[in-house]
Amino acid sequence: MLRKIITLVSILLFIANIAVAAKLYSRYKIQTQTLIFVGDSMTANLGNFDELKGYLKEYYPNTTFQLLNYGFGATSILTVPDRLEKESNYLGKTYQPINDIPFNKIFIESFGNNPLSDHPLEEGLKLQNQALDKIITSIIKKHPKSSIVFIATVAPNRDRYAEGIVNLTTEVRRKWADERIAYIRNHIKYAKSHNIPLINIYEKSIGNADYISTNDFIHPSPTGIYFISEQLAKFIKGNP
């Protein structure tokens, strides 16, 4: 009888050890996540995401992140549906259709710096919403378990927008900036009305000139890239 009890206890301890080992393995095993970033040159300027990788390494030492940059300069929100479904080419590099890639999260930037200026503002904003409808539907259909996140990019500098690139009066610069702000704000509005998670870099950067490059007063400066990367990492940390 004693031998049977000892055997039973041994078996129970063995099972318990397996359970503990399984929990430890689950906690410390190397995991992999694929994150896709879609945008215009504001996203393209994040490059290989070296800054973001640094932040993520601090938060997730046991997770490997595959970060894919689908930021294509001088493109509007209207180009994204094709980027999802078709092969793309940008700066001599070929990109496979986004919807062919298994991913955990996809981040859609506001494309505000490439507004639909061929249309009156009200019509352009409607086209932006229609494009977003199409984009969201396409992603959900192909990746129902993946997360969609919107990014509102760095706030434009109204008085110096595109300075050094285009010769404009201060009044015209403000008009250009205001048009771009309208598209960024509409992106924010769409996210809120459709319950889409939002990284609102725009509101956090209003009035901070340090975040904008002095080369063109459009794209993020090195400080801005670190700021954007930090905001992205904090969101990812809070929304695993």
| Alpha carbon separation from 230 to 54, 104, 201, 236 (Å, rounded) | 9, 19, 10, 10
First-to-last alpha carbon distance for the chain, in angstroms, is 51
pLDDT score, position 168? 97
The domains of the chain, with CATH numbers, are 29-238 (3.40.50.1110)
- 204, 103, 99: which is closest to 151 by C-alpha? 204
pLDDT score, position 111? 98
Distance of CA 227 to the CA centre of its chain: 14
One digit per residue, pLDDT tens: the chain, 240 residues? 656 555 554 554 454 454 443 443 344 446 999 999 999 999 999 999 999 999 999 999 999 999 999 999 999 999 999 999 999 999 999 999 999 999 999 999 999 999 999 999 999 999 999 999 999 999 999 999 999 999 999 999 999 999 999 999 999 999 999 999 999 999 999 999 999 999 999 999 999 999 999 999 999 999 999 999 999 999 999 998
pLDDT score, position 25? 37
Q: pTM for the whole thing?
A: 0.88
pLDDT score, position 30? 61
Per the rule left: phi > 0, alpha: psi between -120 and 50, beta: everything else, 162 is left
